[in-house]
């Protein structure tokens, strides 16, 4: 097996500036709503590496080996069975990638009613991580602020040592 097949580490789409505090991994289809949300958040300026799950099967697989929060759009037209995009399922089916997920943020369209953002519920239950936030389509400026601040708090707490060390 070549190095690529066994899972060479992937580089981030946007590399954290300064000290790295954590990472996000996102998927976005051809409509690019989630990609626009992620771009507008400028996570890399806060010390957060940004990785993108590839859209096409021919693209090299993404292999992430640092703690990350997943940002995922919901698909499936209200059917829970298809709500998580195939590319995201494939990414999480790799035990190496799955080991580092720490939380999930989902997007969707509220027209889907009870199916709104259910990809977040499904991944949260399967991977046993918190469903941290949901937003509609490409999000609002309020969503951007909430997610940026939420991730900063989350990754800062995750890096604090347990106990006071005395
Ligand atoms: C075929 C299709 C099915 C969808 N199914 C759902 C759904 O079940 N629940 C939901 O909340 N949003 C659903 N959406 C809305 C998408 O999650 C939303 O448009 C999202 O912003 C797409 O992100 P992307 O452009 O980054 O791929 C669906 C959209 C499409 C095109």
**Over the stretch 4-39, which tens digit does the pLDDT of each residue have?**
445 688 899 999 999 999 999 999 999 999 999 999
- 77 touches ligand 1 (CB under 6 Å): yes
The answer to the question of residue 164 being in a domain is no
For a substitution probing ligand 1, which of 73, 117, 118 has the most ligand atoms within 8 Å of its CB?
73
pLDDT value at 55 more than 80: yes
Phi, psi angles (nearest 5°) of residue 149: -65, -40
CATH number at residue 147: 3.40.50.360
Number of structural domains found in the chain: 1
What percent of the chain clears pLDDT 70, i.e. is strictly above it?
93
The answer to the question of residue 59 being in a domain is yes
Task: Specify the pLDDT at position 152.
Answer: 96
- 33 touches ligand 1 (CB under 6 Å): yes
**Ligand 1 centre from 133 Cα, in Å?**
16
pLDDT value at 49 more than 60: yes
Task: Specify the pLDDT at position 115.
Answer: 95
CA–CA gap between residue 59 and residue 48 (Å, rounded): 23
- 76 touches ligand 1 (CB under 6 Å): yes
Domain containing 89 equals 9-155
- 83 touches ligand 1 (CB under 6 Å): yes
The answer to the question of residue 123 being in a domain is yes
Nearest CA to ligand 1 atom 18: 108
pLDDT value at 43 more than 50: yes
- Report the b/e string of 40-71 with b at 16+ CB within 10 A: ebebbebbbbbbbbeeeeeeebbbbeebbbbb
Task: Specify the pLDDT at position 8.
Answer: 81
Cβ neighbors of 133 (< 8 A, separation 6 or more) are: 105, 106, 143, 146, 147, 150
The answer to the question of residue 82 being in a domain is yes
pLDDT bucket at 1, cuts 50 / 70 / 90: very low
The answer to the question of residue 162 being in a domain is no
For a substitution probing ligand 1, which of 85, 109, 116, 123 has the most ligand atoms within 8 Å of its CB?
109
Task: Specify the pLDDT at position 4.
Answer: 42
The answer to the question of residue 75 being in a domain is yes
The answer to the question of residue 2 being in a domain is no
**Ligand 1 centre from 88 Cα, in Å?**
14
The answer to the question of residue 61 being in a domain is yes
**Ligand 1 centre from 30 Cα, in Å?**
11
Q: What is the token pair recorded at 7?
A: 């899972």
pLDDT value at 161 more than 80: no
The mean per-residue pLDDT over the stretch 98-103 comes to 98
Task: Specify the pLDDT at position 3.
Answer: 39
Cβ neighbors of 59 (< 8 A, separation 6 or more) are: none
- 117 touches ligand 1 (CB under 6 Å): yes
């Amino acid at each position: 097996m070549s190095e690529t097949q066994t899972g060479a580490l992937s580089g981030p789409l946007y590399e954290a500036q300064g000290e790295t505090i954590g990472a996000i991994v996102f998927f976005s289809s051809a409509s690019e709503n989630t990609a626009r949300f992620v771009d507008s958040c400028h996570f890399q300026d806060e010390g957060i590496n940004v990785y993108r799950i590839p859209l096409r099967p021919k693209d090299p697989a993404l292999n992430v080996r640092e703690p990350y929060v997943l940002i995922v759009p919901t698909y499936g037209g209200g059917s829970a069975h298809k709500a998580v995009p195939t590319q995201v399922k494939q990414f999480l089916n790799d035990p190496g990638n799955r080991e580092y997920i720490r939380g999930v943020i989902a997007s969707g369209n509220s027209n889907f009613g009870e199916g709104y953002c259910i990809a977040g519920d499904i991944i949260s239950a399967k991977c046993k991580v918190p469903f941290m936030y949901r937003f509609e389509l490409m999000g609002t400026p309020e969503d951007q602020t909430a997610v940026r601040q939420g991730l900063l708090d989350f990754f800062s707490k995750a890096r604090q040592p347990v106990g006071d060390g005395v």
